[in-house]
Amino acid sequence: MSRAACLLVIISLMSPAAEALDNGLALKPTMGWLHWERFMCNIDCDTDPNNCISERLYMQMADVMVKEGWKEAGYEYVCIDDCWPSHQRDAQGRLQADPKRFPGGIKKLADYIHSKGLKLGIYADVGDKTCAGYPGSLGYYEKDAQTFADWDVDLLKFDGCFMNRALLGEGYINMSKALNNTGRPILYSCEWPLYEWPLKQPNYTAIRETCNHWRNFDDVFDSWSSIKSILDWTAAHQDIIVPAAGPGGWNDPDMLVIGNFGLSHDQQESQMALWAIMASPLLMSNDLRDICPRSKELLQNKRIIDISQDSMGKQGYRTAKGNDFEVWERPLSKNRLAIAVLNKLETGGPRGFNIGAAPGWKICGSQCNVTQILPQYKEMGVQTQQSKIIVSVNPSGTALLTVTPISSDFRRLHKLNWQGTFVRRKHTIL
């Protein structure tokens, strides 16, 4: 094969299958905060003014994001979910915010959020009504897209409730065009495949051309069983969904629930590590005004965020499982690899795992540099293919490492890695 042909093969192996939505956004997985999991549809501002869905909530969250290092860590979008609008459109047929809970209106809120150097996200629905029963956008795509653009909104989460499933794709595509026609770059977060899976296998080429990220599976809850179900679904469908991800468009396994009530610290580490491996949007749903220091430190961990935001933009895969361990691996820029080892046994104590058993370890070649990021940061120095490094993983916890080959025969190894590890359909049995 000529050098040029060889280069083409390498490039095509490394790029996602389809073109991404061409709006210049989400070149890396989106980072920010989204109200839904933590604050749901709490509209009772009389008895619960601190936690109800109101302009105050987003303003306070934005204040904290700037003051407490969130913005600096990369969290940028402050996103409104369901239950923000009034039940009636205005005289011109436009959506309007609930006047009691958003007295300044969304444009003012956007101005405030922008004055903090952050971006504002909003929520609407492709069908007749939102999932919580507020006005849907069906029949109003252009009007609503223009309204959001006029308000200087930066992101739209577009839900799929109350929609004829046969028209779902058309609806998502039309809203994408309507947003594009406003001329304002508005990041487009879809739930198209989630609502399509019960009917048929979604067309991920079309989805990637239409949306900047897309939900595939159920809503995340504040529990380990919910996180596990999302990971299981993702691994079971990885051959279909992983190739669709890349700069401009990402699979969205839903919000980070770190810092809430339902996950142990080990489980929070697992969510953070695996969401980084999956190149997922990092949209936290928690109360940043009141979050424990360990959760904050985890969410702001620069080394994990660097994996999430890696410039190559390749989503990772589950590459091995067995003995109640799972190995997930993500190829990173500069020839590196991230390896996550999840201990799925929810009984007993920490268990040792020989990192040399991870399929991607072959990237190490004759020598590599190894860094452990979770559960503790540790430089493990120069290792070889033959090294026996045992990492200790707590029940439902995850060890996260990066491997950097120091090898002159890297090209051969890298190719081997891509074709041998990531394109293979079967898991290695540990």
Site string for ligand GAL, 62-81 (x = CB under 6 A): -------------------x
Give dist(CA 370, CA 266) in Å, integer: 22
Least Cβ distance, residue 218 to ligand GAL (angstroms): 8
Task: Rule CB under 6 A: say whether 196 interacts with ligand GAL.
Answer: no
Give dist(CA 258, CA 276) in Å, integer: 13
User: How far is Cα of residue 10 from the mean position of the Cα atoms in its chain?
Assistant: 26
Q: If you search the block for the tokens 């459109």, which residue do you land on?
A: 89
Question: Whose Cβ is closer to ligand GAL: residue 62's or residue 132's?
Answer: 132
Per the annotation, the verdict on 159 as an active-site residue is yes
Least Cβ distance, residue 52 to ligand GAL (angstroms): 15
Both structure tokens of 231: 């990971």
Which candidate in 81, 154, 159, 252 is catalytic? 159
Question: Whose Cβ is closer to ligand GAL: residue 55's or residue 254's?
Answer: 254
Least Cβ distance, residue 152 to ligand GAL (angstroms): 22
387 phi and psi angles, rounded to 5 deg: -60, 145
List helix spans (H) across 183-237. Answer: 192-196, 204-210, 224-236
Question: Whose Cβ is closer to ligand GAL: residue 130's or residue 210's?
Answer: 130
Give dist(CA 166, CA 199) in Å, integer: 9
Least Cβ distance, residue 197 to ligand GAL (angstroms): 13
Q: Report the site for ligand GAL in 110-149 (rule: CB under 6 A).
A: 130-132
Picking from 39, 138, 21, 134, the residue whose alpha carbon sits closest to that of residue 79 is 39
Grouping H, G, I as helix, E, B as strand and the rest as coil, residue 334 is coil
Candidates 61, 62, 80, 82; binder of ligand GAL (CB under 6 A) is 82
Question: Whose Cβ is closer to ligand GAL: residue 142's or residue 219's?
Answer: 219
Which candidate in 128, 219, 306, 324 is catalytic? 219
User: How far is Cα of residue 355 from the mean position of the Cα atoms in its chain?
Assistant: 26
Give dist(CA 189, CA 145) in Å, integer: 13
Phi-psi region of 214 (alpha: psi -120 to 50; beta: other; left: phi over 0): beta
Question: Whose Cβ is closer to ligand GAL: residue 127's or residue 246's?
Answer: 127
Which run of H or E residues covers position 268? helix 265-277
Candidates 55, 191, 196, 266; binder of ligand GAL (CB under 6 A) is 191
The 3-state DSSP composition of the chain as helix, strand, coil percent (nearest 5) reads 35, 20, 45
The site for ligand GAL, by CB under 6 A, has a size of 10
Instruction: Print burial letters for 180-211: b (CB count within 10 Å at least 16), e (below 16).
Output: bebebebbbbbbbbbbbeeeeebbbeebbbbb
Least Cβ distance, residue 37 to ligand GAL (angstroms): 8
Candidates 142, 150, 152, 219; binder of ligand GAL (CB under 6 A) is 219
Asked if residue 59 lies in contact with residue 118, where contact means CB atoms within 8 angstroms, the answer is: no
Least Cβ distance, residue 157 to ligand GAL (angstroms): 7
Per the annotation, the verdict on 219 as an active-site residue is yes
Q: Report the site for ligand GAL in 32-51 (rule: CB under 6 A).
A: 36
Do strands 428-429 and 77-79 pair parallel, antiparallel, or not at all (unpaired)? unpaired
Site string for ligand GAL, 155-184 (x = CB under 6 A): ----x-x-----------------------
Question: Whose Cβ is closer to ligand GAL: residue 252's or residue 266's?
Answer: 252
Question: Whose Cβ is closer to ligand GAL: residue 35's or residue 351's?
Answer: 35
Interacting residues toward ligand GAL by CB under 6 A: 36, 81-82, 130-132, 159, 161, 191, 219
Catalytic residues: 159, 219
